[in-house]
Amino acid sequence: MKQLVRALIIVFVVSFGLLYIVNRLNTAQGYTGDNTLTVYNWGDYIDMDILDQFEEETGIKVIYETFDSNEAMLTKIQQGGTSYDIAVPSEYAIEKMEEEDLLLPIDHVKIPNLQYIDSRFLDLSFDENNKYSIPYFWGTVGILYNPDEVGDISFSEWDDLWDPSLKNDILLVDGAREVIGFSLNSMNYSLNETNKARLVEAKEKLDLLTPNIKAIVGDEIRLLMQNEEAAVAVLWSGIAQDAIWENDKLEYVVPEQGSNLWFDNMVIPKTSKNPEAAHQFINFMLDPEIAAQNADYVGYSTPNREALKHLDEETVNDERFYPDEETTDNLEVYENLGKRMLAFYNDLFLEFKMHRK
Partner 1 sequence: MTKFKLSSLYLIAVFIILYAPIFYLIFYSFNSGGDMYNFEGFTLEWYTEIFQDTRLLIIVLNTVVVALLSAAISTILGVAGALAIYYARRRQTKNALLSLNNVLIVSPDVIIGASFLIFFTMIGIKLGFISVLLAHIAFSVPIVVLMVLPKLEEMSTSMIYAALDLGASRFDVLTKVILPYITPGIFAGFFMALTYSLDDFAVTFFVTGNGFSTLSVEIYSLARQGVSLSINALSALLFLFTMLLVIGYYFITKKANKPNGMGVRQ
Partner 2 sequence: MKAKSRNYYLIPYILWIALFVITPILLVVYYSFFNIEGEFTFENYQKFFTPVYLKMTFSSFWYAFLITFFTFIIAYPTAYLLTKTKHKQLWLLLIIVPSWINLLLKAYAFIGIFGTYGAANNFLEVMGVGGKQILFTDFSFVFVSVYIFLPFMILPIFNALDKLNPSLVDAAKDLGASGWTTFKRVTFPLTLDGVKAGCQIVFIPALSLFMLTRLIAGNRVITLGTAIEQHFLVTQDWGMGATIAVFLIIAMVIIMLITGKRKGGVM
Query: Taking a C-beta distance cutoff of 8 angstroms, is the pair 226, 184 a contact?
Result: no
Query: Taking a C-beta distance cutoff of 8 angstroms, is the pair 147, 249 a contact?
Result: yes
The one of partner 1, partner 2, none whose footprint includes residue 59, by CB under 5 to 8 A per kind, is none
Candidates 27, 82, 168, 195; binder of partner 1 (CB under 8 A) is: 82
Candidates 122, 173, 216, 223; binder of partner 1 (CB under 8 A) is: 223
DSSP state letters, 200-269: HHHHHHHHHHGGGEEEEESTTHHHHHHTTS-SEEEEEHHHHHHHHHH-TT-EEE--TT--BEEEEEEE-B
Shortest reach from residue 331's CB to partner 2, in Å = 23
List the interface residues with partner 2, window 132-151 (CB under 8 A).
none
For position 74 contacting partner 2 by CB under 8 A, the verdict is yes
Q: Identify the helix (H) or strand (E) that includes residue 135.
A: strand 133-145
Identify the three-state secondary structure at position 136. strand
For position 65 contacting partner 1 by CB under 8 A, the verdict is yes
For position 97 contacting partner 2 by CB under 8 A, the verdict is no
Which stretch, 38-46, 110-118, 262-270, 301-309, contacts partner 1 (CB under 8 A)? 38-46
Query: Taking a C-beta distance cutoff of 8 angstroms, is the pair 55, 61 a contact?
Result: yes
For position 85 contacting partner 1 by CB under 8 A, the verdict is no
Query: Taking a C-beta distance cutoff of 8 angstroms, is the pair 146, 252 a contact?
Result: no
* 300 appears as a binding residue in the annotation: no
For position 59 contacting partner 2 by CB under 8 A, the verdict is no
Q: What is d(CA 322, CA 57) in angstroms, rounded to the nearest whole number?
A: 31
How far, in Å, are 28, 70, 162, 197, 282 from residue 107 at the CA level? 33, 24, 48, 44, 11
For position 55 contacting partner 2 by CB under 8 A, the verdict is no
Which of 139, 166, 163, 154 lies closest to 301 in space, CA to CA? 139
244-250 LR contacts (CB < 8 Å, sep 24+): 244/144, 245/299, 249/146, 249/147, 249/148, 250/144, 250/145, 250/146, 250/225, 250/226
Q: What is d(CA 221, CA 91) in angstroms, rounded to the nearest whole number?
A: 22
Which stretch, 2-10, 146-154, 176-184, 332-340, contacts partner 1 (CB under 8 A)? 2-10
Which stretch, 94-102, 181-189, 220-228, 301-309, contacts partner 1 (CB under 8 A)? 220-228
Candidates 216, 253, 316, 333; binder of partner 2 (CB under 8 A) is: 216
Shortest reach from residue 27's CB to partner 2, in Å = 28
For position 71 contacting partner 1 by CB under 8 A, the verdict is no
Residues that bind partner 1 (CB under 8 A): 1, 3-4, 7-8, 11-12, 14-15, 18-19, 21-22, 25-26, 29, 31, 38, 42-45, 63-68, 72, 75-76, 79-83, 218-220, 222-223, 226-227, 242, 246, 298
Query: What residues make contact with partner 2 under the rule CB under 8 A?
Result: 69, 71-72, 74-75, 168, 171, 174, 176, 214-218, 220, 223-224, 227-229, 339-340, 342-343, 346-347, 350-351, 353-354, 356
Q: Summarize the annotated binding site for spermidine as residue ranges.
A: 92
